[in-house]
């Protein structure tokens, strides 16, 4: 992936190296700067970490110039190079030297990450004591005593903001270095033929600087920041309640978040909403945020899958969910029911709790719902009405499972971080990370769940490396879900609008974990795919569209530096000045200052190291690198590569000349309105047509309301009325003409009759086509492009014929 910065418009765009290789004539236009990973690494350096980044350029130079290579002069007519290397084969001595340097770089990065992580932990602990001290003085002050001043709270808020920025910087530092290590290893294996990746995976496990989990820090910072922001008076209430779920209308949207942006997103949200913690007295553990669901369906018909995919009225999803580890004995049986908006009802999620030891008996029909709620009735902790509703739900789910043969098919696992004010659900934001879908069925002869309601050979030990690849799908993104109260035309907060319009998220309406899991885990049984499946191979990272992100206060701002400025060719390019969030400051608006907007070059995060596939591993060598590698091999390989690169250069030059000489129409630039600029930014909008895999169909959601049926019927009746009018004219001409005019009248009446019949048949055909398309929710064209025009032309011909024959019979001409 190449980063392209337009010096004229000051916008960023990207192009895949694969796409540029498919089109060898592609060249950056004048005024564009194209960055590779090495350039991106140098331009993203933060001053505090400037001496601790991986020496990517040095390692790359070692690969291109083994020890023992000599420099020899080239012919005088070579205008592009002044020297070339006479290379020899990569030896064991070269490998040892390279591995030693790589180990040194790994030690450097790992040590810095460990030291900074401990420093952040100590700073959080100190800030926690200071915040507690100020809050205690506020709560214990007497009637005439002065409490903490506003200045104290402001200083605490600045200190916490600085810690938040430190966490953000450390996360970016780790991501960039992790990407650098894997890219240089890939380059090593490709250029030398020595396979270092399996060995280095072991070294990374021994020094896992990239596995730092910031969730505990986020929870602590959220609690402290909420205390300071509210000046010691945080909103209190039942965290489990979140307000009455039926008391308001809630609008929900879903987004994908690239792993590179997850930590930054959490830090941004916690400045506005606290992390929702259900047990504040307990120290945070990773298992506290784990959520696991078992989805059920009929593995023969997949009616629940197709119903949820097509969003048909009344479509259901049945799942069993628990929170935390496998030892949790409380299982929630849930049913989600989809309702169309035109019904006036809202989609419903209902559930009841059940002990794990009773789940199998309940699903087999051996344990009746009345027995489940017998204890609850005796205790009297819930109202009779609530118990009756739960019992009715239990009966309906049990009947569906037994009658329709629902079996466990798919498990979803993820860690959820929820942001919400306790007992206030006006704004609720949840972020699901490490999303994993796992097979639960026994369809292929492999016993997974057996007769049990779930498989027991796995727990919450992500990344579930013990499972075979066919049993698991690790989703590459986090899922952000924003739920807003929308009653009475209430507008969402400004910071929420800025968040969902930022480069950090990618909107994916109606995304479903159940649908995605079934579509990926059962490719031989599922032919209808969700609309987002073809987009899974598209990098969702985007350049920064507006000034939004983590910022430091002015007194703690840091600057980025680049100690490799000699590569810059333009006098206008200046050193970058950057905040801790990696965004350029006002002092660096020229040249490359905007290029560093985001880390968009092949960055990855912690993935299971036994996988051979990385996220967006799309680095292809340019012509120089290919020639360097081929020169080392020598022989026919070098000659062939030389011919290919020369042909590419000639083709690019020829295409550039032809494009300049051949006149062609140019489109008129229409300025983008403010709304589109808010959603899409000012950069170029790229469109791409996706095709379904062979034998599969992509289902695109189509919203159908009753008025659509009525509109189709009204259109049909309009055509029918028109046909009747034309038929009436034909009958009148035929039955009321005189004997002298019978020939002309008969011909005119025949033309009108034919027109009426064609119009009637066309109307019936169009109505049947549209009705079927609406009923099957097909993305068809519902406007009539040719019908009215053809009908008007035919009517004109019929009237003209009638006029001509009548004039001829009356001897007018």
Which tens digits make up the pLDDT trace of 123-151?
A: 888 988 888 888 888 877 767 667 777 88
Q: What is the pLDDT of residue 360?
A: 92
The Cα–Cα gap between 572 and 501 comes to 32
Coil vs helix vs strand at 244: coil
Mean pLDDT, residues 64-83 taken together: 50
Catalytic residue among 513, 688, 696, 739: 513
Task: Report pLDDT digits (tens) over 730-768.
Answer: 888 777 765 555 666 777 778 888 888 888 898 898 888
Q: In sequence order, which residues have a C-beta less than 8 Å from that of residue 681 and are 6 or more positions away? A: 11, 503, 542, 543, 545, 546
Question: Rounded to two decimals, what is the model's pTM?
Answer: 0.67
Give the dihedral sign, CA 525/527/532/538.
positive
DSSP-assigned states of every residue in 75-118: -TT--S-SEEEE-----HHHHHHHHHHHHHHHHHHHHHHHHHHH
Q: What is the pLDDT of residue 295?
A: 94
**Residue labelled with tokens 């609406």:** 774
Helices 92-140 and 56-64 pack at an angle, to 10 degrees, of: 170
Per the listing, tokens 């379904």 go with 692
Query: Which residues, 6 or more positions from 632, have their beta carbon under 8 angstroms from its beta carbon?
Result: 87, 88, 89, 90, 191
> What is the per-residue pLDDT for 710?
85
Provide the pLDDT confidence category of residue 621 given band limits of 50, 70 and 90: very low
State residue 513's pLDDT score. Answer: 92
Cα 11 to Cα 681: distance, rounded to the nearest angstrom: 9
Give residues with Cβ within 8 angstroms of 623, minimum separation 6: 645, 648, 649
What is the residue-averaged pLDDT of the chain? 75
Overall average pLDDT of the 359-388 stretch: 87
Helix axes 215-229, 150-192, angle to 10 degrees: 160
Phi-psi region of 777 (alpha: psi -120 to 50; beta: other; left: phi over 0): left
Angle between helices 56-64 and 150-192 (to 10 degrees): 10
Percent of the chain with pLDDT over 70: 71
- Better-predicted residue by pLDDT, 213 or 377: 377
Q: Does residue 296 register a pLDDT over 90? A: yes
DSSP 193: -
**pLDDT beyond 70 at 326:** yes
In this predicted structure, what is the pLDDT of residue 292?
A: 93
Torsional class of 311: left (φ above 0), alpha (ψ -120 to 50), beta (otherwise):
left
178-192, 234-248, 268-282, 375-389: range with lowest mean pLDDT: 234-248
Residues 6+ apart with CB under 8 A from 182: 604, 614
pLDDT of residue 344: 56
Three-state secondary structure of 477-512: CEEEEEEEECHHHCCCCHHHHHHHCCCCCEECCCCC
Cβ-defined contacts of 609-613 (< 8 Å, 24+): 609/201, 609/204, 609/205, 610/465
Is the pLDDT assigned to residue 437 strictly greater than 90? yes
Output the pLDDT for position 742: 60
Residue 30: pLDDT band with limits 50, 70, 90: very low
* Residues 778 and 723 sit within 8 Å (Cβ to Cβ): no
> Crossing angle, helix 150-192 and helix 262-270, to 10 degrees?
170
pLDDT at 490: 65
The whole-number pLDDT of residue 475 equals 93
Beta carbons within 8 Å of 141's beta carbon, 6+ residues apart: 147
Active site annotation includes 513: yes
Residue 26's pLDDT band, with cuts at 50, 70 and 90, is: very low
The Cα–Cα gap between 63 and 328 comes to: 53
């Amino acid at each position: 992936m190449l980063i392209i910065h337009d010096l004229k418009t000051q916008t960023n765009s990207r192009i895949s190296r694969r796409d540029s290789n498919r089109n060898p004539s592609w060249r950056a236009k004048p005024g564009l700067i194209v960055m590779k990973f090495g350039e991106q690494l140098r331009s993203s350096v933060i001053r505090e970490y400037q001496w601790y980044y991986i020496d990517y350029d040095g390692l790359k130079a070692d690969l291109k110039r083994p020890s023992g290579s000599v420099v020899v002069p080239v012919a005088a007519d070579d205008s592009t190079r002044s020297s070339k290397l006479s290379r020899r084969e990569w030896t064991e001595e070269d490998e040892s030297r390279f591995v030693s340097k790589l180990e040194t770089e790994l030690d450097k990065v790992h040590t810095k990450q460990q030291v900074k992580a401990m420093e952040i932990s100590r700073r959080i602990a100190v800030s926690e004591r200071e915040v507690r001290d100020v809050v205690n003085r506020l709560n214990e002050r007497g009637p005439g005593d002065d409490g903490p001043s506003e200045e104290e709270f402001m200083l605490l808020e600045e200190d916490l903001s600085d810690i938040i920025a430190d966490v953000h910087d450390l996360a970016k530092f780790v991501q960039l270095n992790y990407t650098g290590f894997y890219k240089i290893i890939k380059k090593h294996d490709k250029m030398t033929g020595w396979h270092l990746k399996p060995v280095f995976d072991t070294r990374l496990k021994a020094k896992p600087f990239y596995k730092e989990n910031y969730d505990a820090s986020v929870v602590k910072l959220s609690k402290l920041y909420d205390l300071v922001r509210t000046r010691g008076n945080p909103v209190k209430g039942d965290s489990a309640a979140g307000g009455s779920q039926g008391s308001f209308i809630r609008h929900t949207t879903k987004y994908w978040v690239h792993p590179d942006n997850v930590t930054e997103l959490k830090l941004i949200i916690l400045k506005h909403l606290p992390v929702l913690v259900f047990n504040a007295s307990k120290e945070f553990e990773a298992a506290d945020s784990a959520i696991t669901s078992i989805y059920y369906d009929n593995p023969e018909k997949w009616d629940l899958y197709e119903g949820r995919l097509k969003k048909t009225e009344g479509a259901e999803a049945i799942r069993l969910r628990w929170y935390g580890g496998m030892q949790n004995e409380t299982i929630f049986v849930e049913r989600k029911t989809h309702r169309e908006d035109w019904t006036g009802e809202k989609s419903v999620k209902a559930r009841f709790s059940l002990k794990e030891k009773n789940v199998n008996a309940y699903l087999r029909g051996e344990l009746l719902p009345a027995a489940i709620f017998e204890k609850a009735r005796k205790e009297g902790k819930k109202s009779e009405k609530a118990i009756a509703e739960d019992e009715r739900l239990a009966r309906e789910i049990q009947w569906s499972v037994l009658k329709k043969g629902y079996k466990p098919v798919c498990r979803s696992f993820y860690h959820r971080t929820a942001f919400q004010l306790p007992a206030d659900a006006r704004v609720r934001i949840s972020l699901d990370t490490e999303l994993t879908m796992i097979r639960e069925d026994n369809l292929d002869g492999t016993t997974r769940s057996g007769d049990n309601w779930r498989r027991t050979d796995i727990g919450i030990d992500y990344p579930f490396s013990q499972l075979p690849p066919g049993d698991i799908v690790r989703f590459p993104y986090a899922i952000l879900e924003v739920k807003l109260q929308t009653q009475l035309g209430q507008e969402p907060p400004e910071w929420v609008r800025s968040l969902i319009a930022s480069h950090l998220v990618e909107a994916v309406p109606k995304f479903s974990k159940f649908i995605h899991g079934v579509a990926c885990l059962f490719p031989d049984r599922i032919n209808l795919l969700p609309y987002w499946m073809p987009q899974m191979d598209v990098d969702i990272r985007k350049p920064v569209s507006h000034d939004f992100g983590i910022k430091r206060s002015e007194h703690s701002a840091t600057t980025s530096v680049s100690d490799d400025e000699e590569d810059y060719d333009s006098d206008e390019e200046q050193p970058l000045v950057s905040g801790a969030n990696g965004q350029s400051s006002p002092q660096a608006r020229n040249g490359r200052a905007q290029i560093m907007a985001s880390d968009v070059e092949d960055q990855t995060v912690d993935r299971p190291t036994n996988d051979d596939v990385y996220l967006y591993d799309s680095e292809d060598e340019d012509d120089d690198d290919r020639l360097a590698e081929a020169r080392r091999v020598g022989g026919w390989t070098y000659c062939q590569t030389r011919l290919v690169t020369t042909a590419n250069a000639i083709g690019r030059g020829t295409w550039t000349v032809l494009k300049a000489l051949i006149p062609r129409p140019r489109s008129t630039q229409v300025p983008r309105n403010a709304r589109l600029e808010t959603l899409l930014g000012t950069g170029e909008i790229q469109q791409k047509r996706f095709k379904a895999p062979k034998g599969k169909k992509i289902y695109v959601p189509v919203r159908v309301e009753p008025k659509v049926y009525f509109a189709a019927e009204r259109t049909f009746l309009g055509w029918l009325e028109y046909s009747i009018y034309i038929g009436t004219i034909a009958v009148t001409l035929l039955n009321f003409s005189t004997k002298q005019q019978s020939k002309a009248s008969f011909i005119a009446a025949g033309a009108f009759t034919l027109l009426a019949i064609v119009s009637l048949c066309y109307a019936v055909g169009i109505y049947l086509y549209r009705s079927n398309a609406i009923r099957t929710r097909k993305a068809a064209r519902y406007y009539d492009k040719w019908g009215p025009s053809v009908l008007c032309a035919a009517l004109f011909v019929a009237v003209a014929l009638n006029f001509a024959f009548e004039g001829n019979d009356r001897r007018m001409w």
